Copies of this chain bind each other. A is one copy, B any other.
Amino acid sequence: MTAERLRERRRGGRRTGGAARAGAGKPMANPAFRRLSNPYAPIEQYSADQIEAIHDTSLTILREIGIRVLSDQARQIYRAAGADVDEATKHVRIEAALVLDAVGRAPTQVTLRTRNPVRQVTAGGKALAFATVGGPPNVSDIENGRRPGTLAAFRDLARLAQSFDVIHLLNPMVEPMDVAPPFRHLRMTRTMVTQSDKVPFVYCRGIQAVADALDIIRLANGLTEELFTRTPCCFTVVNANSPLQLDDLMCKGIIEFARRGQLMILTPFTLAGAMAPITLPGALAQQNAEALAGIALAQMVRPGTPVAYGGFTSNVDMKSGAPAFGTPEYVKAAFASGQLARRYRLPFRSSNVNASNAPDAQAAYESQMALWGAIMGGCNLLMHGAGWLEGGLTASFEKFIIDVEMLQMFAALMQTESFDDDALALSAVREIEPGGHYFGTRHTLARYETAFYAPLLSDWRNFETWQESGALDATRRANRIYKQTLADFEPPALDASILGEIDDLIARRESEGGADLER
């Protein structure tokens, strides 16, 4: 019977709808997607006792084994705070009380300012925000294939990010390999603040590069030095060099971000079986030790500086050593990482990841696994939300659009509707003949325009109509949508005098030779 009812349904005049919109490729402004709050209780992977066992193991690691810290300055800060530092091996061993005291000083929630107040992002509690892909050296689309990242690709991805309300933060979308490294941070940051008024990212690539990027962002926000230091406006991600090592640039990033009061996300990158134990509880204990060590350092520099707890535990294929993402193990680790973050009352960062080499069904199902793990794990800040492909080695324009569709579906899932007598609809049921339909009822007519999620990419037309219109699969439709979105793009307002100040700063720094990335 179901199939018969469906055939009847699908014979109806489906000439418009999702696909017609998809064909037009207009990004749909949806202010409801600008601030998301997750109404669901998080899924828990482990019992409270098991989380305590992971917690205890990580504290034992920090106390007995310690973490190797390659920055002299960071070791000095740890020592001054009371940690046991071995200068010969560069090992820092920290007692539990010292770690927990420092971590306890971190705020439970942080609000990131934007020059356009509607773009402000809150991290923590039930708030949920999505960031673009960050870091790939390559970019791809299905027409031009995979090639090294450029500043133009970086700009185009920033424009896509700006175009969809469901994207809240900009990661460094692709590495602009056509810009010389000493100047790269200047061009990337300028592109972010001119093409978008959303929260930008800053790389920890040395003290000077961080200072330059923060200055540009400070100017874009129209803030004084003093006010900027009290107003988080951007974020960075600090990865441990797992297992159990913090390198020099990462330490400098932690110290600089803490001094300037900007948000840092401490994210050990722990692939179980490779850089972490092959068992999930073990990998999570190591992740936790590394995250707590970094968060403690930040709080030792400046108590109360905003931080987030990043979980990025996945696994490798043990037959080949290949990294895997969006696996069942990844999902379990995301659920557990959310529990750990909440254990410390910290905002939780997770990621939308996959290992596919093409923006295909594998990319979609691995990403969905990762998204459900992250979001139902209680994620506050979702990194790599749109565009990540190939285990993070490529930013894909089509995957960006596929991801926006998926993120919008989650954003719609987060919306709660009224639940009253009118929603229970008994009066509407009374109006209908058995076997009839509700299309013309007053109850339907009052609600049909906004009742359900309207897709960007999904094509719900019947097979014949879809075939007549070219039988484009989702990836090819995504290609059209990204190009149309770029064609329609208009940059956000930025005061001309502010842009002048930014360009003066960049010109000066460029004439000085840019940043020394080793410092």
Contacts and interface: CB of A to CB of B under 8 A. Distances in A.
A95 interface: no
Nearest to A368: B368
A317 interface: yes
A355 interface: yes
B466 A357 contact: yes
A390 B286 CA distance: 45
Contact of A317 (B317, B364, B460): B460
Interface string A234-250: 00010101111101001
A68 interface: yes
Nearest to A452: B315
B5 A438 contact: no
A475 B360 contact: yes
A37 B487 CA distance: 50
A283 B283 CA distance: 45
A356 to B, nearest CB: 7
Contacts of A285: 424-426, 429
Interface string A421-455: 01111101110101111110001100111011110
A478 B361 CA distance: 10
Pick the most buried of A16, A18, A424, A462: most chain B CB atoms within 10 A of its CB. Answer: A424
A391 B11 CA distance: 12
Nearest to A45: B40
A61 interface: yes
Interface residues of A, number: 148
Interface in A324-358: 324, 327-329, 331-332, 355-358
A146 B91 CA distance: 64
A318 interface: yes
Pick the most buried of A15, A406, A423, A478: most chain B CB atoms within 10 A of its CB. Answer: A423
A515 to B, nearest CB: 17
B57 A355 contact: no
Given A65-B429, A393-B463, A321 B54 contact: no
Nearest to A445: B278
A69 B364 CA distance: 43
Pick the most buried of A267, A327, A478: most chain B CB atoms within 10 A of its CB. Answer: A327
Interface stretch (A214-222, A412-420, A501-509): A412-420
A448 B273 contact: yes
Contacts of A365: 364-365, 367-368, 402, 405-406, 409
A498 interface: no
A462 B356 CA distance: 9
Contacts of A460: 317, 320, 322-324, 355
Contact of A273 (B53, B355, B439): B439
Contact of A7 (B3, B137, B271, B368): B137
B409 A53 contact: no
A353 to B, nearest CB: 10
A394 interface: yes
Nearest to A467: B357
A65 B427 CA distance: 10
Pairs A-B, 3 closest by C-beta atoms: A282-B425, A17-B320, A368-B368
17 contacts: A2-B269, A7-B137, A13-B320, A18-B320, A53-B424, A68-B435, A91-B434, A146-B463, A277-B444, A324-B458, A329-B412, A329-B452, A329-B453, A358-B471, A362-B474, A363-B474, A366-B458
Interface of A: 1-3, 5-7, 9-10, 12-18, 40-41, 43-44, 46, 50, 53-54, 57, 60-61, 64-65, 67-68, 91, 135-137, 146, 175, 237, 239, 241-245, 247, 250, 267, 269, 271-283, 285-286, 312, 315-324, 327-329, 331-332, 355-369, 372, 376, 390-394, 402, 405-406, 409-410, 412-413, 415, 417, 419, 422-426, 428-430, 432, 434-439, 443-444, 447-449, 451-454, 457-463, 466-467, 471, 473-475, 478
Given A281-B419, A357-B461, 16 more contacts: A5-B241, A9-B274, A10-B391, A13-B321, A14-B321, A65-B429, A276-B438, A277-B438, A285-B429, A324-B452, A328-B410, A331-B413, A357-B462, A360-B474, A360-B475, A394-B463
